[in-house]
């Protein structure tokens, strides 16, 4: 630790990151187990078929990377062979800080032609459902062969429009979570687990 840095140890289940105290909700290990199970489910449904994963930036970037790797690795324990997929991304925004505005805007479109292809939308978290509903409508017009949704996390209590993902990593309570791609004001995305910000940490730098 740097000289002059005074730190109070966080309590059990809490971690310091970027000057904040974070309560861990889903560990790295659990995220890995979840992602492997999702890859098994996706393989079961798409084995031998063409599949394009579309990650919704920026939040789904880390989850999409983990999921694509799991598909590519296979799962020896259940005899699942590696499954090749293609990747693309689109970027939308619909969130102002902690409040969903329902005002979805597209910033970056996919560069892949999806007509007659199996498309799997990959998203970090499903909340009110407005973002994914809007994206699905846009993509349906391009006539994919199939269009399904995989979310790392789901907060069904918050739903305002009906949407049931084909693949769900974990259902969580109505809390604003950060980490594993999820941000608060663009911070905390590279936290390797999912957690909740409790408040500023006791860490401070003192003049020496």
- For strand 118-126 and strand 146-154, is the pairing parallel, antiparallel, or unpaired? parallel
Q: Pick the catalytic residue from 66, 124, 127, 154.
A: 127
How far apart are alpha carbons 172 and 147 in whole angstroms?
A: 24
Which of the residues 99 through 128 are near ligand 5GP (CB under 6 A)?
A: 100, 123-128
User: Could you confirm whether 45 is annotated as catalytic?
Assistant: no
Q: 78 or 161, CB closer to ligand 5GP? A: 161
Q: 43 or 134, CB closer to ligand 5GP? A: 134
**In Å, how far from its chain's centre is CA 71?**
16
The 109-148 contact track toward Mg ion, x by CB under 5 A, reads: ---------------x------------------------
Q: Does the footprint of ligand 5GP cover residue 194 (CB under 6 A)?
A: no
182 binds, among Mg ion, ligand 5GP, none (CB under 5 to 8 A by kind): ligand 5GP
Which of the residues 37 through 96 are near ligand 5GP (CB under 6 A)?
A: 59, 94-95
Q: Does the footprint of ligand 5GP cover residue 178 (CB under 6 A)?
A: yes
Neighbours of 17 (CB within 10 A): 19
Show which residues are catalytic.
127
Give residues in contact with ligand 5GP (CB under 6 A): 59, 94-95, 100, 123-131, 176-178, 182-184
């Amino acid at each position: 630790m740097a000289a002059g840095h005074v730190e109070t140890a966080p309590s059990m289940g809490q971690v310091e990151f970027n000057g904040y105290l974070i309560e861990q909700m889903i560990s790295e290990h659990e995220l890995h187990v979840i992602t492997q199970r999702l890859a098994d489910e996706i393989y079961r449904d798409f084995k031998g078929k063409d599949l394009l994963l579309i990650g919704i930036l920026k939040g789904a970037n880390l989850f999409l990377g983990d999921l694509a790797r799991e598909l590519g690795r296979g799962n020896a324990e259940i005899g699942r062979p590696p499954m090749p997929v293609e990747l693309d991304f689109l970027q939308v925004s619909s969130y102002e800080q902690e409040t969903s505005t329902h005002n979805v805007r597209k910033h970056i479109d996919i560069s892949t032609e999806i007509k007659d292809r199996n498309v799997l939308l990959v998203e970090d978290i499903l909340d009110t459902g407005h973002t994914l509903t809007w994206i699905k409508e846009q993509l349906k017009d391009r006539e994919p062969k199939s269009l399904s949704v995989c979310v790392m996390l789901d907060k069904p209590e918050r739903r305002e429009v009906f949407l049931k993902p084909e693949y769900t990593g974990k259902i969580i309570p109505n809390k604003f979570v950060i980490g594993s791609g999820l941000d608060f004001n663009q911070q905390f995305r590279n936290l390797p687990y999912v957690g909740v910000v409790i408040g500023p940490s006791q860490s401070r730098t003192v003049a020496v």
